[in-house]
């Protein structure tokens, strides 16, 4: 890097507390290696709220840079929405309740997986065909009749749906620009936020059939911001991996390096700040106990942020963002079967349907003949299944999965389920970005308020992905680490804890 030192560039990009201005940080350009956060100024006491991936990565980077970090986590485990379920399945079987697929194009996710010595495997078996379940009938995804079924246009028929979407993606990437660019979203990108995904696709010449095909298993695509789907398309089309042994091995590995800095079962209730310091108050043994810090990073999803009291209160812009970004309902139903009946048919065990659910094959065990299928239910179906779960009844989810794979009824040996709406520290799965949200809400989400900084997947352009949580954690760690430096580059005086 000539003309400017790395440090000068970093400082020019980072939030300057003295100036009170926030500029986005190009994390991908500045953070080339995990564990090597740039630090200037004295060590600070930093409290991080939430030990999901965002909080863990922020903590890891700050600890490596020499800061004094405490991570407060309300639930009994670190990892948040990365949650691998191993009980009550047969030995070696496990399933993801949350993050399941890791696109290989997600450089930050792949870097941290490697950094913590974890191994990856293909997300789907190398089987050519999954199942497409439409109007009650099953089709193989490699069936030429799919084009007729969805009435693709002639060029889409020639290319096939995946290549047609890849071409669209290439065209859209030009308009959305680089999402790691500090200036993103640019005015050109924001034009796409004025449309819903259906309007955007139709204006690009995509047939209604291909839009329905892309929406299989999901059912809310037409409601989403065109900019959101334009950004997501690249990740959706990328080849995917999983962490061998379970995706929770990543948060577990990060938490292990942090040791007793991670406190679980500690729910933050209140954050009080003055110009000199900030205190984070938690409920412990029916009493409120406050921890003093120099800076705080809050990583909780917006769906539960309003349960934390801020004194002074959050700005109106932030409160508006919190109350207007809507979270999706997701419930997963896990079905263990005594035989992997799909293998003899030469299909993968994965399926998409014309209802808001899909089926994943999660039979990750070399030592067992038994298999594990996951029903991935969205929105109204997830909420209907949750009603049944209240009385311990998984029937609805299992019967919908059996409509796709009737053999499930014959081979089923056990089941379990997980509702993200019912998780009191998530109250939903991920945000649904509607038209206008990137313009009105996105810029407010990462903005610091005094000594309180904000991270979490929802603050990153890679929202709804592990990569977004990592990206946001690094960004917040960078902001905090440099926040003691004034615009002249000298350390600002702060009240350090006694
Ligand atoms: C169903 C589902 C499917 C997904 N699929 C994928 C996928 O295939 N690939 C992918 O890359 N990503 C996927 N994701 C997204 C990915 O899981 C998230 O982007 C990421 O895990 C979010 O991390 P986070 O740290 O931002 O938030 P979280 O993981 O939610 O972490 C926040 C933490 O804060 C804690 N907390 C909340 N309130 C308080 C409080 N008051 N005090 C203290 N602690 C508190 C919570 O318990 C939680 O541990 C999926 C998510 C879900 C739910």
Report pLDDT digits (tens) over 304-326. 999 999 999 999 999 999 999 99
Point out the ligand 1 atom lying closest to the alpha carbon of residue 301: 30
CATH label, 6-80+248-325+435-482, candidates 2.60.120.10, 3.90.1330.10, 3.50.50.60, 3.40.50.920: 3.50.50.60
Q: For the chain, how many helices (H) and strands (E)?
A: 20, 23
**Residue 290 pLDDT greater than 90, yes or no:** yes
Decide whether any atom of ligand 1 lies within 6 Å of the 466 Cβ. yes
**Residue 5 pLDDT greater than 50, yes or no:** no
**Residue 426 pLDDT greater than 90, yes or no:** yes
**Residue 366 pLDDT greater than 50, yes or no:** yes
- Shortest CA distance to 271 belongs to which of 75, 72, 441? 72
Structural domain spans, the chain: 6-80+248-325+435-482, 151-205+220-243
Summarize the confidence of residues 135-156 as an average pLDDT: 93
Q: In what order do the strands lie in the sheet with 68-72?
A: 262-263, 68-72, 45-49, 295-298, 452-454
Q: What is the pLDDT of residue 497?
A: 23
Radius of gyration for the alpha carbons in the chain, expressed in angstroms and rounded: 23
Tell how far the Cα of 468 is from the centroid of ligand 1, in angstroms: 10
Burial of residue 345 (number of CB atoms within 10 Å: 0-12, 13-18, 19+): middle
- Between the ranges 23-32, 357-366, 476-485, where is the mean pLDDT highest? 357-366
Pocket residue to mutate for ligand 1, from 48, 54, 76, 81, most atoms within 8 A of Cβ: 81
Exposure string over 243-267, b if 16+ CB within 10 A, otherwise e: bebbbbbbbbbbbeebeebbeeebb
User: How big, in percent rounded to 5, are the helix, strand and coil portions of the chain?
Assistant: 35, 20, 40
Minimum mean pLDDT among 258-267, 341-350, 361-370, 414-423: which range?
361-370
Tell me the percentage of the chain whose pLDDT exceeds 70.
Answer: 89
> CB within 8 A of 313, min separation 6: which ones?
319
Tell how far the Cα of 413 is from the centroid of ligand 1, in angstroms: 30
Tell how far the Cα of 76 is from the centroid of ligand 1, in angstroms: 14
Q: What is the pLDDT of residue 1?
A: 30
Q: For residue 492, what are the CA distances in angstroms to 14, 272, 275, 472? A: 15, 21, 12, 25
Paired with 283 in beta bridges are 288
> Is the peptide bond prior to 468 cis by the omega test (within 30 degrees of 0)?
no
**Residue 296 pLDDT greater than 70, yes or no:** yes
Burial of residue 475 (number of CB atoms within 10 Å: 0-12, 13-18, 19+): buried
Tell how far the Cα of 418 is from the centroid of ligand 1, in angstroms: 14
> Is the peptide bond prior to 185 cis by the omega test (within 30 degrees of 0)?
yes
Runs of H (alpha helix) within 48-106 = 53-64
Q: What is the pLDDT of residue 128?
A: 67
Summarize the confidence of residues 132-139 as an average pLDDT: 96
pLDDT band for position 414 (cuts 50, 70, 90) = very high
pLDDT band for position 275 (cuts 50, 70, 90) = confident
Decide whether any atom of ligand 1 lies within 6 Å of the 468 Cβ. yes
Summarize the confidence of residues 265-288 as an average pLDDT: 90
- Shortest CA distance to 338 belongs to which of 410, 417, 245? 410
Pocket residue to mutate for ligand 1, from 55, 72, 80, most atoms within 8 A of Cβ: 80
Query: What's the chain's average pLDDT?
Result: 89
Tell how far the Cα of 125 is from the centroid of ligand 1, in angstroms: 26
Q: What is the pLDDT of residue 458?
A: 97
Q: What is the pLDDT of residue 40?
A: 67
Instruction: Please give the Cα distance from 314 to 330 (Å, whole number).
Output: 29
Decide whether any atom of ligand 1 lies within 6 Å of the 301 Cβ. yes
Paired with 95 in beta bridges are 85
Point out the ligand 1 atom lying closest to the alpha carbon of residue 282: 42
Higher pLDDT, 43 or 296: 296
Decide whether any atom of ligand 1 lies within 6 Å of the 72 Cβ. yes
Decide whether any atom of ligand 1 lies within 6 Å of the 81 Cβ. yes
**Helix, strand, or coil here: 469?**
helix
Decide whether any atom of ligand 1 lies within 6 Å of the 80 Cβ. yes
* pLDDT 10s digits, 162-221: 999 999 999 999 999 989 887 789 999 999 999 999 999 999 999 999 999 999 999 889
Decide whether any atom of ligand 1 lies within 6 Å of the 93 Cβ. no
Place of tokens 């004295």: 42
> CB within 8 A of 236, min separation 6: which ones?
103
Minimum mean pLDDT among 364-368, 440-444, 494-498: which range?
494-498
Minimum mean pLDDT among 24-33, 71-80, 102-111, 192-201: which range?
24-33
Summarize the confidence of residues 217-236 as an average pLDDT: 94
Instruction: Please give the Cα distance from 277 to 274 (Å, whole number).
Output: 5
pTM of the model: 0.92
* pLDDT 10s digits, 244-255: 999 999 999 999
Tell how far the Cα of 458 is from the centroid of ligand 1, in angstroms: 10
**Residue 89 pLDDT greater than 50, yes or no:** yes
Q: What is the pLDDT of residue 125?
A: 79
Tell how far the Cα of 384 is from the centroid of ligand 1, in angstroms: 23
Tell how far the Cα of 290 is from the centroid of ligand 1, in angstroms: 25
Tell how far the Cα of 275 is from the centroid of ligand 1, in angstroms: 31
Q: What is the pLDDT of residue 25?
A: 53
């Amino acid at each position: 890097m000539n003309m400017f030192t790395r440090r000068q560039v970093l400082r020019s990009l980072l939030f300057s507390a003295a100036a009170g201005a926030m500029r986005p940080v190009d994390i991908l350009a500045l953070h080339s290696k995990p564990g090597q956060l740039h630090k200037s100024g004295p060590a600070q006491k930093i409290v991080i709220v939430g030990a999901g991936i965002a909080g863990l990565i922020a903590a890891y980077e700050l600890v490596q840079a020499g800061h004094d970090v405490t991570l407060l986590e309300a639930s009994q485990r670190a990892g948040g929405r990365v949650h691998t379920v191993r009980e009550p399945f047969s030995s070696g079987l496990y399933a993801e309740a949350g993050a399941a697929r890791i696109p290989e194009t997600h450089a930050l996710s792949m870097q941290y997986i490697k950094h913590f010595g974890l191994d990856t495997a293909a997300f789907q078996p190398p089987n050519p065909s999954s199942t497409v379940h439409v109007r009650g009938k099953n089709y193989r995804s490699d069936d030429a009749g799919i084009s007729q079924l969805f009435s693709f246009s002639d060029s889409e028929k020639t290319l096939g749906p995946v290549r047609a979407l890849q071409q669209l993606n290439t065209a859209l990437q030009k308009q959305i620009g680089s999402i790691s660019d500090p200036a993103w979203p640019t005015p050109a990108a924001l034009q796409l936020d004025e449309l819903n995904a259906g309007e955007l696709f139709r204006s690009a010449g995509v047939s209604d059939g291909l839009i329905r095909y892309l929406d299989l298993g999901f059912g809310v695509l037409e409601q989403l911001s065109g900019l959101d789907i334009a950004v997501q398309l690249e990740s959706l089309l990328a080849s995917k991996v999983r962490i061998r042994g379970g995706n929770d091995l990543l948060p577990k590995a990060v938490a292990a390096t942090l040791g007793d800095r991670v406190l679980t079962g500690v729910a933050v209730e209140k954050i009080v700040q003055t110009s000199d310091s900030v205190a984070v108050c938690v409920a412990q043994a029916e009493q409120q106990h406050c921890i003093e810090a120099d800076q705080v990073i809050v990583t909780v999803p917006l769906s539960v942020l309003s349960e934390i009291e801020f004194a002074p209160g959050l700005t109106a812009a932030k409160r508006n963002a919190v109350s207007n970004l809507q979270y999706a309902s997701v419930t997963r139903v896990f079905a263990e079967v005594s035989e992997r009946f799909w293998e003899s048919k030469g299909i993968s065990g994965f399926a998409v349907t014309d209802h808001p659910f899909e089926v994943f094959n999660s039979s990750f065990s070399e030592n067992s003949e038994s298999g594990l299928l996951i029903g991935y239910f969205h929105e109204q179906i997830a909420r209907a299944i949750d009603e049944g779960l209240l009385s311990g009844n998984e029937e609805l989810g299992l019967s919908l999965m059996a409509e796709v794979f009737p053999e499930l009824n014959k081979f089923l040996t056990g089941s379990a389920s997980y509702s993200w709406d019912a998780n009191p520290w998530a109250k939903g799965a991920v945000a649904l970005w509607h038209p206008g949200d990137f313009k009105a809400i996105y810029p407010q989400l990462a903005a610091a308020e005094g000594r309180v900084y904000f991270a979490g997947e929802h603050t990153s352009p890679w929202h709804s992905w592990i990569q977004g949580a990592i990206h946001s954690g690094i960004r917040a760690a960078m902001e905090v680490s440099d926040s003691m430096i004034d615009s002249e580059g000298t350390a600002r005086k702060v009240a350090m804890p006694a």
